Amino acid sequence: MDDVPLSVLFLVLAVLIVLSAFFSGSETGLMVLNRYRMRHRAREGHAGAKRARRLLQRPDRLIGLILIGNNFVNILASAIATVIALRLFGQIGIAIATGTLTLVILIFAEVTPKTLAALHPERIAYPAAWVYTPLLKLLYPLVWVVNWMSNNLLRLFGIDTNAHGEQPLTGEELRTLVLEAGGGPLPKRYRRMLLSVLELERVTVEDIMVPRNEVTGIDLDDDWDDILQQLAGSQYARLPVFRENLDHVTGYVHLRKMPRLLLQESFTREDLEGAIREPYFIPAGTPLNKQLINFQRTKRRFGLVVNEYGDILGLVTMEDLLEEIVGEFTTDPSDTIKDVFPQEDGSFLVDGSATIRELNRSMDWQFPTDGPKTLNGLIIDYLESIPEPGTSVLLAGYPVEVIQTKGNAVKMARVYPELRRN
C-alpha cells in the first residue's frame, strides 16, 4: 500500500467506519424490533417488515452474517489505520493508530449507531433487511460454516440451538404490555377493556353477582294481585320464581314474554307457573371467562350462584359479565343510584353493600379483593365483630369510619382516601 495516496486510504477508512456503524446499528435495530408490530406491518404488506421477519426466523444466521461483516470491516479498518499511522508518524504511529481508531469506532461505529437504533429500531431495521437478504444468500456458505461451529460449541453446554420459536406471552406479561401502551395511540377506554378481558380468568361469578339479599323475585305464595303488579312494574328482564324464599326456587320467568299473557283476562297463577323456565345454577368459584363460554354454549343469559353446599348466594346475568369488559351500559333506573357520595371535606360516604371491585375500579382505590366482596364484609372481617357507629379502622391504608349499622351489617361508612397511609 506504499504507493496508495493517503487521501485514498483516509477515504477507505471512513467508508469502513460507516460500514461498521451500519452493522452495529442494524444488529441492535433488528434485535430490539417489536415483533408484534413487525408481524402486523408484514401482514399489511410492508416489504421491509416481511424481509425482517424472514431474517429473524433464523436469528443465528442473521447474527453470524452481521458479525462476519462487522469483524471484517473493523479488522480491515485497523490495518489501514496502521498503514496511515506508519506513514505519518513512523513506529510510534502504531500506538497512536490503535488508541485513535478504538475511540473513533467506539463513538461513531458502536455507541452512537446502537443508541440511534435502540431509539428508532424500525427506521434502521427495515432498510437494513433489504441489504441483509441478498447478502445472506451471497455469503451463505461462510455463514453456514460459522453457525455450524458455533452451534456445536453451544451443544457441548447443553443448549438447544433448534429452539428458534418465540415464547408465548403469559397473561401477566400481556397485561404489562397493555399497561405500557398507555403513552401510545391506544385510547384509555380500549386499554381498560383489554385489561378487563385479561381479568376474566382471575375473577369469579361470586365477585360480580347480585347478592342474595338484593335479589328481586316472585314469591308464588304472595297474593295474586301483588304478583300481577310486580310482573307489570318490574324493571328487570328476568325474575327468579320461588316459594317462601330463594332456597325453594322453581325457576325464572322472562318478562318480555309476559305482556301478551298479562293482556289475557283469564291469566291465572297456573299460566304463570306454565311460563316458568328451568333454573340454571352456577358454582360460585366459576371464572368469568369460563362462565361466558357456558352462557353461550347453553344459550342462557341468567343463572343463580350456589356455593359448595348448594345454597343460593345470588344471581348473575350475561349483562353483568359484559359490563365487566365494557363498563356499565344498562339504562336500568336502579343502576343510577350510586353507592358513593362525595363530601365537602374530601371524604366519601359509601354504602356498606358496595362491592370492593367496583369501588377499586370506579374510585381508583386499592382495597384488597382476595377476601370479602363488599365494604361491609371487609370491615367486619377486619374487626371480627359487628362494629358500633363511630368505630374507625385502617383498611389497606385507608381510614374508614363506621357511620351507620343496621342489624348485623354496616349500612354506611366514611372513607378518607386523601389520608391514606402508603
The answer on 382 and 319 residing in a single domain is no
Q: Are 241 and 220 in contact (CB under 8 A)?
A: yes
Beta-carbon contacts of residue 195 (< 8 Å; ≥ 6 apart) = 175, 178, 179
Residue 198 covered by a domain = no
Residue-number span of the structural domain to which 296 is assigned: 205-328
Predicted confidence (pLDDT) per residue in 239-291, tens digit: 999 998 898 999 998 887 776 666 666 777 888 888 889 999 999 989 999 99
Distance CA 49, CA 39 (A): 7
Distance CA 167, CA 149 (A): 26
pLDDT band at 407 (very low <50, low <70, confident <90, very high): confident
pLDDT band at 334 (very low <50, low <70, confident <90, very high): very low
The answer on 229 and 109 residing in a single domain is no
Paired with 211 in beta bridges are 314
Write down the pLDDT at residue 208. Answer: 86
The answer on 231 and 297 residing in a single domain is yes
The answer on 389 and 269 residing in a single domain is no
Domain count, the chain: 3
The residue among 359, 341, 352, 346 whose CA lies nearest residue 396 is 359
Write down the pLDDT at residue 335. Answer: 46
Residue 189 covered by a domain = no
The answer on 141 and 16 residing in a single domain is yes
Q: Mean pLDDT, to the nearest integer, of 311-335?
A: 75
Predicted confidence (pLDDT) per residue in 59-70, tens digit: 888 998 999 999
Residue 178 covered by a domain = no
Write down the pLDDT at residue 259. Answer: 66
pLDDT band at 336 (very low <50, low <70, confident <90, very high): very low
**Residue ending a domain, choose from 328, 351, 369:** 328
The answer on 405 and 345 residing in a single domain is yes
Write down the pLDDT at residue 195. Answer: 77
Predicted confidence (pLDDT) per residue in 361-383, tens digit: 778 898 988 888 889 999 999 99
Write down the pLDDT at residue 21. Answer: 93
Distance CA 314, CA 379 (A): 21
The answer on 304 and 383 residing in a single domain is no
Beta-carbon contacts of residue 231 (< 8 Å; ≥ 6 apart) = 218, 239, 253, 255, 258, 262, 272
The answer on 404 and 357 residing in a single domain is yes
Q: Cα torsion at 46, 51, 53, 59 (round to 10°)?
A: -160
Distance CA 308, CA 180 (A): 40
Residue 355 covered by a domain = yes
Q: Which CATH number goes with the domain that contains 281?
A: 3.10.580.10
The answer on 134 and 52 residing in a single domain is yes
pLDDT band at 183 (very low <50, low <70, confident <90, very high): low
Distance CA 195, CA 217 (A): 34
Residue 187 covered by a domain = no
Residue 354 covered by a domain = yes
Write down the pLDDT at residue 287. Answer: 92
Distance CA 406, CA 84 (A): 94
Predicted confidence (pLDDT) per residue in 89-106, tens digit: 777 777 877 788 888 888
The answer on 232 and 146 residing in a single domain is no
Query: Sheet harboring 409-415: ordered strands across?
Result: 340-342, 348-351, 409-415, 398-406, 392-395
Q: Are 82 and 94 in contact (CB under 8 A)?
A: yes
Residue 295 covered by a domain = yes
Predicted confidence (pLDDT) per residue in 12-31, tens digit: 889 999 999 999 999 999 99
Q: Is pLDDT of 196 > 70?
A: yes
Alpha-carbon Rg of the chain, whole angstroms? 35
Paired with 392 in beta bridges are 401
**Residue ending a domain, choose from 156, 184, 214:** 156
Distance CA 160, CA 369 (A): 42
The answer on 101 and 72 residing in a single domain is yes
pLDDT band at 295 (very low <50, low <70, confident <90, very high): very high
Residue 400 covered by a domain = yes
Q: Which CATH number goes with the domain that contains 375?
A: 3.30.465.10
Q: Is pLDDT of 58 > 60?
A: yes
Cα–chain center distance at 392: 36
The answer on 127 and 46 residing in a single domain is yes
The residue among 268, 320, 318, 270 whose CA lies nearest residue 298 is 318
Residue with cell 342462557: 300
Predicted confidence (pLDDT) per residue in 299-321, tens digit: 999 999 999 888 999 999 998 88
Q: Which of 4-8, 217-221, 406-410 bottoms out in mean pLDDT, i.e. has the lowest?
A: 4-8
Distance CA 58, CA 400 (A): 58
